[in-house]
């Protein structure tokens, strides 16, 4: 059974004589969306059907130019196009469903001027649903052989939004929603390339000139991108089974980059404010990276396992498994970076205030929290303005790598509360522990340990204190308490 429904100018042309439907508006078609070549103005529709159970419905109305071309070759295909435009530019829609398409469905609903939509499907049980409301929106969907049970839904409101979806994985799903407001002239842009099986991508963008680019080759993976504001950027490259990426950005000119190649890993980025930058690169299985930034001009970078080499430009020791890193920054112009290579490592950095720095991202002479080895833990908490903290475990004094065996079981905890405090902990050896707590202003403390089973505990309260502890050897213990502060003496 075949059903062909045409209304408006398309229905008139069909009644006038023939299977070849041609009403030409005389327009120059954008990117080859349609191909109606006869004369005079109006709507045009060109439909070709070959197979069993195909259905094509075209409804075009309004002044201006509405152009639709449907080409179906297969079984049980359904294509529906509804276009409504006012005087001005044309709506254009092209739907092509190939001979291998079984139970495929493509629906396009466009209201406004100058919307473009192109859907190409070839596979099994595919569904593509595109709805555009506004002016000059563009949507392209490509689903090819192997995309069994794949689903693509695109909903765009406003003006000049662009959505491009390419899907070839089995049991995959893509959902894109974009809105830049009725009066907005600078649209959002979403690019999704999906080849993994059982994977899902959800993109929601509201505002103007937001960009989301998702490349997904992982199976059973999930990517969620939610952006609101102006000129936010989100880049996600995901490979590995069962991985999860969640990106939320609200503000202006925020940048998030997630590069994830690890089985069972997760990455989360939450940014509120303007001009914030987040970079996560994961190569370790079961890794978890969380970056939360609230303020303006904050910068956070996390590299797990051999991702550190990509992040900071050197070749790391190939140790992996069960890393965890979390960065939370609240304020303006804070900087934090974490590099982890090893097993069961954990790093937590929390900064509240302005101009706090936990290392300098990309600067080998001042990396914030660098860990190499096994079962290491580093925790940095800074509250106030202008604090600086640098924690390094399992490296030599010249910041060159030592073997994984010489970096084991280290613990470093730094807590600063005040203004202009500086703290540096550097440990290389086995089972070292260092705790440093500063309260007040202008405190300076340095701890350097090289050996095994060393312990250093420094607590400072007040102003203008400074403490330096250097231990080389085995089984050493140092306790420093200044003003009213007392070291805990235990870990």
Characterize the bridge pairing of strands 422-430 and 444-452.
Answer: parallel
| Number of independent structural domains in the chain | 2
Low-confidence ranges of the chain (pLDDT < 50): 1-32, 38-40, 307-318, 361-362, 396-406
Whether residue 201 lies inside any domain: the answer is: no
pLDDT tens-digit map of 361-416: 445 556 677 777 777 788 888 887 777 888 877 754 333 343 333 456 788 888 87
Position 149 scores a pLDDT of 75
Q: Residue 273: what pLDDT? A: 92
CA dist., res. 22 & res. 248, Å (int): 47
- Domain range for 379 is 288-300+307-491
pLDDT value of residue 15: 26
pLDDT at position 146 is 60
Q: First vs last Cα of the chain: how many Å apart?
A: 77
With respect to residue 296, please indicate whether it lies within any of the assigned structural domains: yes
Residue-level pLDDT at 101: 65
Separation CA 268–CA 433 (nearest Å): 30
Q: Which of 93, 122, 156 represents a domain boundary (last residue)?
A: 93
pLDDT at 30: 41
Specify if 398 maps to a domain.
yes
In a domain, 442, yes or no: yes
| Of 367, 317, 364, nearest in space to 337 by CA | 367
Question: Is 338 part of any domain?
Answer: yes
Distance CA 395, CA 240 (A): 30
Measured CA to CA, the distance from residue 235 to residue 336 in angstroms comes to 20
> According to the model, what pLDDT value does residue 317 have?
44
User: Is 62 a domain residue?
Assistant: yes
Q: Is 234 among the domain residues?
A: no
Closest CA to 377 of 391, 362, 365, 390: 391
Per-residue model confidence (pLDDT) at position 251: 93
- The answer to whether residue 142 sits within a structural domain is no
With helix as H, strand as E and coil as C, how does the chain read? CCEEEEECHHHHHHHCCCCCCCCCCCCCCHHHCCCCCCCCCCCEEEEEEEEECCEEEEEEECCCCEEEEEEEEEECCEEEEEEECCCCCCEEEEEEEEEEEECCEEEEEEECCCCEEEEEECCECCEEEEEEEEECCEEEEEECCCCCCCEEEEEEEEECCEEEEEECCCCCEEEEEEECCCCCCCCCEEEEEECCCCCEEEEEEEEECCEEEEEECCCCCEEEEEEEEECCEEEEEEECCCCEEEEEEEEECCEEEEEEECCCCEEEEEEEEECCEEEEEECCCCCEEEEEEEEECCEEEEEECCHHHHHHCCCCCCCCCCCEEEEEEEEECCEEEEEEEEECCEEEEEEEEECCEECCCCCCCCCCCEEEEECCEEEEEEEEECCEEEEEECECCCCCECCHHHEECCEEEEEEEEECCEEEEEEEEECCEEEEEEEEECCEEEEEEEEECCEEEEEEEEECCEEEEEEEEECCEEEEEECCCCCCCCC
Beta pairing partners, 191? 164, 213
Note the pLDDT tens digit of each residue in 49-69.
Answer: 777 777 778 787 766 677 888
pLDDT digits (tens, 9 = 90+) for 169-213: 777 788 999 998 765 668 899 999 988 778 889 999 999 999 999
Other CB atoms within 10 Å distance of the CB of residue 306: 20
Of 263, 265, 264, which is closest to residue 280 (Cα–Cα)?
Answer: 265
- The full length of the chain comes to 491
Could you give the CA distance from residue 190 to residue 161 in angstroms, rounded to a whole number? Answer: 8
For tokens 């099994």, what's the residue? 124
Nearest Cα neighbor of 290 from 310, 271, 318, 307 is 271
| Whole-model pTM over 0.85 | no
Structure tokens at 466: 């400074």
Domain stop point among 49, 76, 93: 93
Predicted confidence at residue 26, as pLDDT, reads: 31
Domain boundary among 93, 118, 134: 93
Question: 359-376 burial string, b = 16+ CB within 10 Å, else e?
Answer: bbbeeeebbbbbbbbbbb
Write down the pLDDT at residue 9.
36
């Amino acid at each position: 059974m075949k059903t062909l429904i045409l209304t408006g100018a398309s229905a008139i042309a069909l009644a006038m004589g023939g299977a070849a439907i041609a009403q030409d508006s005389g327009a120059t078609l954008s990117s080859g969306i349609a191909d109606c070549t006869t004369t005079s103005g109006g709507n045009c529709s060109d439909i070709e059907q070959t197979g069993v159970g195909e259905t094509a419905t075209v409804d075009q109305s309004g002044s201006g130019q509405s152009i639709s071309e449907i080409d179906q070759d297969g079984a049980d295909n359904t294509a529906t196009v509804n276009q409504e435009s006012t005087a001005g530019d044309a709506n254009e829609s092209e739907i092509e469903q190939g001979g291998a398409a079984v139970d495929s469905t493509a629906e396009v609903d466009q209201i406004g001027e100058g919307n473009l939509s192109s859907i190409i499907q070839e596979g099994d049980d595919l569904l593509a649903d595109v709805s555009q409301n506004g002016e000059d929106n563009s949507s392209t969907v490509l689903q090819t052989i192997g995309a069994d049970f794949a689903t693509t839904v695109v909903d765009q409101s406003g003006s000049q939004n662009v959505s491009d979806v390419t899907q070839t994985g089995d049991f995959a799903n893509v959902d894109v929603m974009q809105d830049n407001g009725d009066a907005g002239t600078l649209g959002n842009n979403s690019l999704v390339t999906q080849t993994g099986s059982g994977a899902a991508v959800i993109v929601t963008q509201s505002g103007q000139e937001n960009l989301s680019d998702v490349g997904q080759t992982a199976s059973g993976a999930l990517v969620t991108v939610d952006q609101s504001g102006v000129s936010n950027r989100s880049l996600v490259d995901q490979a590995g089974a069962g991985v999860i990426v969640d990106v939320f950005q609200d503000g202006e000119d925020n940048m998030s980059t997630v590069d994830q190649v690890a089985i069972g890993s997760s990455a989360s980025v939450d940014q509120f404010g303007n001009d914030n930058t987040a970079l996560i690169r994961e190569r370790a299985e079961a890794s978890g990276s969380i970056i939360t930034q609230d303020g303006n001009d904050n910068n956070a970078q996390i590299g797990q396992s051999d991702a550190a080499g990509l992040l900071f430009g050197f070749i790391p020791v190939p140790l992996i498994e069960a890393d965890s890193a979390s960065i939370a920054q609240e304020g303006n112009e804070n900087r934090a970076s974490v590099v982890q290579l090893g097993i069961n490592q954990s790093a937590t950095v929390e900064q509240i205030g302005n101009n706090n720095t936990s290392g300098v991202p990309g600067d080998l002479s001042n990396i914030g929290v660098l860990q190499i080895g096994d079962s290491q833990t580093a925790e940095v908490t800074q509250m106030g303005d202008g604090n600086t903290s640098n924690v390094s475990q399992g490296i030599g004094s010249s910041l060159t790598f030592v073997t994984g065996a010489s970096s084991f079981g280290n613990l470093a905890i730094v807590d600063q509360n005040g203004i202009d405090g500086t703290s540096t902990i550097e440990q290389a050896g086995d089972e070292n522990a260092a705790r440093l707590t500063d309260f007040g202003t202008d405190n300076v403390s340095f701890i350097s340990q090289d050996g095994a089973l060393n312990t250093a505990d420094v607590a400072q309260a007040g102003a203008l204190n400074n403490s330096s502890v250097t231990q080389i050897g085995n089984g050493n213990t140092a306790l420093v308490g200044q003003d009213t502060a007392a070291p805990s003496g235990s870990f």
